């Protein structure tokens, strides 16, 4: 997948698979803005990016990863800031949700499919908007070939966190996109005001939205008439 993205933009050229840069590494904090930071991903065990948005009253955490060090890292920042944690889970895969049971949280938001795995928290069936002094958030459902019931998080109309939603599904030794879902994703991104999107397991984490749209449009152009699935090739 990274190879396809590199063809579309100088920004996308920088993308690397995590296993080339963070193999067995202790997760670390990185800052995007003064209110937005994240814990880096890893592959052994596979653990997604964990994003933290600091609001007026709460720390909004998008995905919780699976690395055993993450719960302590989140507990420490919660203590330092004096703010409780609210969690949004992008989807149900273990590398995004495994640490839920080890984190003290105030609220937990997820899609219906994810709830089948957690059995706790709130199911998001319509948009949730958060309007604080410095932070405006929108939690919404994102169609996905990779994981049904994915949730996205829009931050201040500038950053949109997407988890793995834009990645393909695995069918045997190939990866595929549902053509209809892919078209929906492209349309949603085009209508969205945010100029940046964030994709889990990739560095740099923050990507220009237009470059990502170009990558998806190239895949969509590969569709064949009357075929619901688009072959994305071997592996991710």
Total domains present in the chain: 1
Res 160: pLDDT: 99
Give residues with Cβ within 8 angstroms of 51, minimum separation 6. 36, 37, 38, 61, 62, 63, 153, 161, 198
**Distance between CA atoms of residues 40 and 29, nearest Å:** 6
Alpha helices for the chain (secondary structure H): 2-6, 70-81, 94-97, 112-118, 179-191, 209-220
Structure tokens at 76: 């420490």
CATH of the domain at 215: 3.60.15.10
Measured distance between the N- and C-terminal CA atoms of the chain, rounded to whole angstroms: 5
Res 16: pLDDT: 40
Res 24: pLDDT: 54
> Domain containing 160: what range?
2-234
**Distance between CA atoms of residues 199 and 74, nearest Å:** 21
Res 233: pLDDT: 73
Count other C-beta atoms under 10 Å from residue 128's C-beta: 15
| Residue ranges of the chain with per-residue pLDDT less than 70 | 1-25, 234-236
């Amino acid at each position: 997948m990274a190879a396809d993205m590199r063809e579309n933009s100088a920004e996308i050229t920088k993308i690397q698979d995590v296993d080339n840069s963070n193999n067995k590494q202790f997760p670390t904090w990185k800052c995007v803005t003064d209110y937005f930071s994240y814990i880096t991903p890893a592959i052994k065990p596979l653990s997604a990016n964990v994003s933290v948005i600091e609001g007026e009253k709460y720390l909004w955490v998008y995905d919780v990863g699976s690395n055993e060090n993450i719960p302590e890292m989140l507990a420490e920042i919660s203590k330092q800031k004096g703010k409780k944690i609210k969690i949004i889970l992008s989807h149900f895969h273990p590398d995004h949700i495994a640490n839920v049971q080890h984190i003290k949280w105030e609220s937990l938001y997820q899609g219906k499919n994810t709830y089948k795995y957690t059995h706790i928290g709130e199911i998001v069936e319509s948009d949730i908007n958060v309007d604080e002094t410095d932070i405006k958030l929108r939690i919404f459902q994102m169609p996905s070939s990779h994981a049904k019931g994915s949730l996205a998080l829009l931050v201040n109309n500038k950053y949109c966190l997407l988890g793995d939603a834009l990645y393909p599904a695995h069918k045997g030794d190939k990866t595929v996109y549902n053509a209809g879902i892919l078209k929906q994703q492209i349309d949603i991104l085009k209508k969205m005001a945010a100029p940046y999107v964030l994709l889990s397991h990739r560095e740099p984490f923050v990507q220009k939205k237009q470059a990502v749209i170009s990558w998806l449009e190239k895949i969509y152009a590969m569709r064949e008439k009357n075929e619901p699935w688009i072959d994305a090739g071997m592996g991710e």
